[in-house]
A and B are shown apart, each in its own frame.
Chain A
Amino acid sequence: MATGRDTDPAALSADAKLPTRQEASLASLVLANRGVFWGGALLLVMVAIAVLGPLFTSDPMALNPIKRLKPPTGEFLFGTDFLGRDVFARVIYGARISLAVGLAVALIAISVGLVMGMIAGYVRALDAVIMRVMDGLMAIPGILLAIALISLSGATLATVIVAIVIPEIPRVVRLVRSVVLTVREEPYVEAAIAAGTRLPQILLRHILPNTIAPLIVQATYISGSAMLTESILGFLGAGIPPEIPSWGNIMSEGRTYFQISPWIIFFPGIALAFTVLAVNIVGDGLRDTLDPRIARKM
């Protein structure tokens, strides 16, 4: 400074010293969480069953009228249904449908919600429009909306997925928008604007990464609830066509025989409960480790 005040060299070197701290990687930190570990393990088992299981089971569609409504035995682990189909094979096949629906719904809802949320959060002019549409969507019960959409366009796997996605989008949009609104005021974003960075890059480089952690958490909850919704739709007869053995469909068909052959409903119900539980445990674990307050301590 112009005063010629001398600076303490010791303090300067202390200030200029560069710390070298080893830090645990995010992945190992996340896996250290018991919920993520055990929930993830259970989920992996489910995925393995869904992918590999059908190779080892009998045909889930094969009818065997002689052996209808048989209780669980060595031959039919989970018993048979009213057409003599192997419930074990059907439940395992159903895992494919449930997991596929969960994954697809989460991915689509997050992608669509992310784009709309970013626009709503960053483009002031569109904010009110997008958010009012989202408010409107949130005012309609999800199941009702899904049933309406499916009855309009016919039941296929794709329409069921779309029907489940739409009610999930507003929550993602709200989440992303709130993150964008906070982050856009950060000085580093303003510094990037002052440095002439274009809008797409600002969104991509500086804002998007902040939404990832909360979105991963949100994605697990969405996939859990999507699997439930898919089963509910199937159970109500409004979901995937009844010939496809999804867990909801199996339970729906077993409803009539519940009193004499409870296993038809029991086993897909257990499978559904465990899968959703696993997903939710992973979600809780991820929320705990990815929470910004905890992440900052790293």
Chain B
Amino acid sequence: MSHDSRAAGVPVLEIRGLTVTLPEGADRKYAIEEVSLSVGAGEIVCIVGESGSGKSVTAFTVMGLTPRKELKPVAGEIRLHGRDILNLPEREMRRLRGEKMAMIFQEPMTALSPVMKVGDQIAEVLEIHTELGPRERRERVLEAMRDVNLPEPERLYHSYPHQLSGGQRQRVMIAMALVLDPGLLIADEPTTALDVTTQAQILELVKSIQRRHGTGVLFITHDFGVVAEIAHRVVVMREGRVVEQGPAAEVLTRPEHPYTRMLIGSVPSLTPPERPARGEAETALEVRRLNKVYGHAGWFGGGRVVHAAKDVDLTLCRGETLGVVGESGSGKSTVARCIVRLVDITSGEILIDGVDLAKLRQGELRPHRRHIQIVFQDPYRSLNPRRTVGQSIIEGPMNFGLSREEALERARELMRVVGLAPEALDRFPHQFSGGQRQRICIARALAMEPRVLIADEAVSALDVSVQAQVLDLLDEVRRRFDLAVLFITHDLRVAAQICDRIMVMWHGRVVEQGPTARVFREPSHDYTRRLLAAAPGRDSFLEAG
């Protein structure tokens, strides 16, 4: 194993003036331009940037995993332990990958083969790169699995990926990447698909491995909380260029470039702001003992039943934002879908204006639907790609008897409200960016003149700077139309900023409920405490101001 370069002080990875072209017809000429950075032994370097910044292209080019025809490196060099690897033949690269450098990916479910036992997948790396016999391989695999704190490695060796949790799968990926003890580990958003509590554990693991093995880590992320948590040095990228780089403490506390400042300024703080005390307000929505059970018992006693929401109670007043926070599988989205009646509820009451929506059948429900509108997470799937934005917005009002002209007039008005040009109504969704689409979705919801607006992870898929703007917009329309907002999110930072009250869900139950400031200051339930403790970047600069 070549540890010599670690001792000699040569950087594990050095990229100089790397420029990679994009194929013809793309929105810019170069995917990345003049990128220079280095990763020393035992150093964690974070590349941080928004979507389209070129951070992933940089990582994939280092690994030699980009399609060379479409993403062609035209200038610069990539040195691994001092050796230029940019133009090595594929045979050589194959040997380097795994031995000298390894990569972990965002989605461990798809990065692992679903038809192979995880132990065998790790062993495969040894089979390809070493001369070890089967028994020694097995020993090394178990050792690697213990190294990443996988419980019961003997048993997990024979498991398939789908039998593991998301966090365990990511640990397997890391074990696989590190089994040959490479000098460089590239991690491409490895915690983005994970829950915060799992994310915290994986970040801790990456740190401890880097300390123990002296691995250089190139960590790609869009999340400044994660950066604050693990980075020694930070490289900020924007539209293919490095705009700023330096030691983490420096860049995070005294950012020089306006873009970095804007990015850091857009990260919501975990400290809830002072919110004006709310007087008595009219109740907009009341949910009592809502239960939702998915699946049904099989004919012969088999079958799978998931109790996704258990006895959920909530009251929502006009002009108020109630946050529902929880990790995946906590039932928060199920509650939203039940309230909008996109799924039938198992039992309980949904009261709006004294009418119990839960008891109404589809036909009777229709007139009441306008009162509750929803904005979804994925801006790319929320609008029918074949219809113009205008058609999408006026669809609802026209269902409720507005003429086409009246509906269009309202649509134009709402486009202005959400900060878009009214002329854009004739365009199709693909002509808009993610943030713009989310604005359109908000306009579509508002066109129904609802009392309750449900935002189901409505800003989770957006870049942090765009996220801030959409949050501002949501808050503005809440005030302007005196809306009751049910804000569903996994992101505690966002919840801290926008919500008057917070409801924490866990395994389908509401475990804690109260004013935002109180929940963040003195969480009463153990799970809330764990959730808060896991929020990345919690003890850092991000909370200083």
Contact = CB atoms under 8 A, between A and B. Distances in A.
Interface residues of A, number: 30
B275 A16 contact: no
Contacts of B262: 8, 11
B479 to A, nearest CB: 9
A188 B265 contact: no
A15 interface: yes
A20 B427 CA distance: 9
A59 interface: no
Interface size class of B (residues with CB under 8 A): 35 or more
B373 A16 contact: no
B432 A18 contact: yes
B5 interface: no
Given A15-B466, A205-B384, A187 B378 contact: yes
Given A5-B468, A8-B465, A196 B367 contact: yes
A177 B370 CA distance: 29
B373 A1 contact: no
Interface stretch (B38-46, B88-96, B433-441): B433-441
B542 interface: no
Contacts of A209: 386
Interface string A11-46: 110011011110000000000000000000000000
Given A188-B383, A191-B374, A195-B399, A18 B435 contact: no
A192 interface: yes
Contacts of A196: 366-367, 369-370, 396, 399-400, 448
A8 B472 CA distance: 12
A3 B497 contact: yes
Contacts of A20: 431
B265 A191 contact: no
A190 B377 CA distance: 12
B382 interface: yes
Given A188-B381, A190-B342, A195 B432 contact: no
A2 B469 contact: no
Given A3-B497, A186-B381, A205-B387, A195 B448 contact: yes
A198 B342 contact: no
A184 B171 CA distance: 35
Contacts of B329: none
Given A18-B420, A195-B370, 9 more contacts: A1-B475, A5-B468, A15-B435, A190-B374, A191-B376, A192-B395, A195-B399, A196-B448, A205-B384
Interface of A: 1-3, 5-8, 11-12, 15-16, 18-21, 186-188, 190-198, 205-206, 209
11 contacts: A1-B472, A5-B266, A8-B258, A8-B465, A190-B340, A192-B384, A193-B342, A194-B369, A198-B366, A205-B384, A205-B395
